[in-house]
Amino acid sequence: MSRRQTSLFDPQIVRRAIKDSFRKLDPRLMLRNPVMFVVYVGSFLTTGLFIEALAGKGEAPAGFILGVSVWLWFTVLFANFAEAIAEGRGKAQAAALRKTRKTTIAKRLAAPRRDANFLQVASTELRKGDVVLVEAGFMIPGDGEVIDGVASVNEAAVTGESAPVIRESGGDRSSVTGGTQVLSDWLVIRITANPGETFLDRMISLVEGARRQKTPNEIALSILLAGLTLVFLMATVTLLPFSIYSVKAAGAGVPVTVTVLTALLVCLIPTTIGGLLSAIGIAGMDRMIQANVIATSGRAVEAAGDVDVLLLDKTGTITLGNRQATEFFPAAGVSETDLADAAQLSSLADETPEGRSIVVLAKERFRLRERDVHALGARFVPFTAQTRMSGVDLAGRQIRKGAADAVETFVVGQGGGFPADVRSRVEGIATSGGTPLVVAEGPRVLGVIHLKDVVKGGIRERFAELREMGIKTVMITGDNPLTAAAIAAEAGVDDFLAQATPEAKLKLIREYQSGGRLVAMTGDGTNDAPALAQADVAVAMNSGTQAAKEAANLVDLDSNPTKLIETVEIGKQLLITRGTLTTFSIANDVAKYFAIIPAAFATTYPVLNRLNLMHLASPRSAILSAVIFNALIIIVLIPLALKGVKFRRHTASRLLRDNLLIYGLGGVIVPFFGIKLIDLLLQALRLV
């Protein structure tokens, strides 16, 4: 998570952003943002008026017009700078990624076999469907699917995680990413993306913001801002005739100047949010990337914030990946130590997490030390799908552990029976959500081991917070309904889907969607692909199959299922940042009116000075102070726009109340002080 974090104002990025702010003055680029385009036109207009004033025909002193004009240009540049710095941060990441995209030499196979003839070609010449061989130490030349071999791969370039991962043909770990390195063994890979369309390419263009399209809510907000801009344009443009009338009516003063009207217009239109809007969007994508989640579109980031239902895989998200032994229940006539001893013996060579946990429990409970399996001359009997048991054979003893019905078949085959007390214990454990593991030696059942899913610490609180935010959590598990219900209750999820099949998942998603809810899920397997495609927000594990990644709109490079929750919060934060800054921007107008209106009509109606609540020193100083405040607030708010407003997990009402108080009320009050302060500074520096 911290890996890609660049400091907010990295000097290199700042330097480049400054240069870019000027480059962005291109009218074609400016036209994309209607609010800032109005400021841009105003800057040209006042510059023209300044030149006119220099020629001696000015409507106001040249120095004053220059002051307004310069600060209007700054307003435009500051907005450009905000966008440039957001892009710059992305570009810095893109540059790092691009380094890994070096052209490499690939061995293109004539046939999809390891021993087929190969041709050495540049990675850029590979096309979809080509088959390549990658051996230890070489870069994987492009995105693809492993069709043969097993290898450890360093994916640090994409994920930032330095521990190597296993990639193998078939199953859910078959997809590889171009630019990653094979560390051991070899892989035969079928290329699935043409150069320029690979995952890395997509990631680069996303972080650079080159392919950034406006998201639905951003479009809606832009429309509203454009509408407000038009209203304020009307309110200021008509002030000129109003002023002409007033001068005639009062018989005093001169009509308001175009410079002052332009200054008023720029102060009133929502430049703060208008200037920061695209930076907020880019930064939202950026935060996703910092969380190591790649969004295929900005729309997906925004949709993440709207999710109502989270489908969470039990394993890895809600519980620690593995079940653990928590208790021994001996059968009648068997001591607990004997049971523990037998259980430990049967698990010594069992490298599964469950097996390890039995050894650990036996050691903790009865100080049974680990014994060397080979020294005992024992033969390990591994778990198979047929027997559904594992165990050990030593010195004539046959110790087995496994599911109750499998062990029952085993002991009956040996001429034994299954005791009733063990059977009831087995049922008891299953009801409580645990997994009963029966241990037997020959025909005799020794007892039961209680394997328990361990719910992650703090997850219950997390779900409670999500519930408060209005997000429903649904646990997806392959367990039977009984087990699932018990874990669901312990973890505090709202609902669960037991014995989940891909079809059942798909059906569940559709059910929620038909009720108008937005559903998010994570998945990695090929059989998850339909459900991923159906979900509104689908996070694929980077370790997952290509099919899953194609179907998803977010890819989690860390392959961490808990990330889904973080994703939702980033989406919400993006919207909240936009909303609060819009409110702040509009609330600012109140103070600006009180600064500019008395100043603009000071010569016609001196009584209007009663509205000069801030007691600004002079009309010119008042107007200049408002314009300067309006420009500087953009710079001041850049860090907030980039980092996003702090997100708190609260109900909608509470969030609204807090944000209205901070950004609404704050937005009304702050500029009164800000403008006054700038006015005082202007006086102190004798600039006005």
Which two structure tokens, joined as six digits, stand for 484? 């699932």
Q: In this complex, which beta carbon is closest to another protein, that of residue 73 or of residue 605?
A: 605
User: How far apart (Å, rounded) are the C-alpha atoms in residues 227 and 377?
Assistant: 84
Residue with Cβ nearer another protein (108 or 472): 472
Q: How far is the CB of 284 from another protein (least distance, A)?
A: 11
CB of 470 to another protein, least distance (A): 2
Is 313 an active-site residue? yes
Nearer to another protein, 246 or 683 (CB): 246
CA nearest 272: which of 657, 592, 647?
592
Tokens (6 digits) for 576? 């909240």
- Report in angstroms how near the CB of residue 657 gets to another protein at its nearest: 6
Residue 561: which of 545, 538, 531 has the closest Cα? 538
Marked catalytic residue, from 20, 143, 313, 350: 313
Rank residues 174 and 229 by Cβ distance to another protein and give the closer one: 229
Q: For residues 171 and 606, give the distance between their C-alpha atoms in angstroms, rounded to a whole number.
A: 82
Write down the least CB distance from residue 236 to another protein, Å. 7
- CB neighbours of residue 28 within 10 Å: 6
Query: 122 near 153, Cβ under 8 Å?
Result: no
Instruction: Please give the angle made by the CA atoms of 41, 47 and 50, to the nearest 5 degrees.
Output: 145
* Cβ at position 455, least distance to another protein in Å: 23
Compute the distance between CA of residue 485 and CA of residue 501 in angstroms, rounded to an integer: 17
Q: Which is nearer to another protein, 481 or 515 (CB)?
A: 515
> Which residue is associated with the tokens 């330097």?
15
SS3 label, residue 124: helix
Alpha carbons 164 and 511: distance in angstroms, whole number: 39
Name which of 171 and 216 has its Cβ closer to another protein: 216
Count CA atoms closer than 13 A to 450's CA, side-chain side.
17
Residue 592: CB minimum distance to another protein, A: 10
Give one word for 454, left, alpha or beta, with left for phi > 0 and alpha for psi -120 to 50. Answer: beta
* Encoded tokens for 667: 């937005």
CA dist 102 → 106, 188, 201 (Å)? 12, 20, 12
Please tell me the distance from the alpha carbon of residue 427 to that of residue 447, in angstroms, as a whole number. 13
Answer left, alpha or beta for residue 598, where phi above 0 means left and psi between -120 and 50 means alpha: alpha
Q: Residue 590 or residue 613: which is nearer to another protein going by CB?
A: 590
* Closest separation in Å from C-beta 612 to another protein: 12
Secondary element (H or E) of residue 260 = helix 258-268
Catalytic residues, which ones?
313
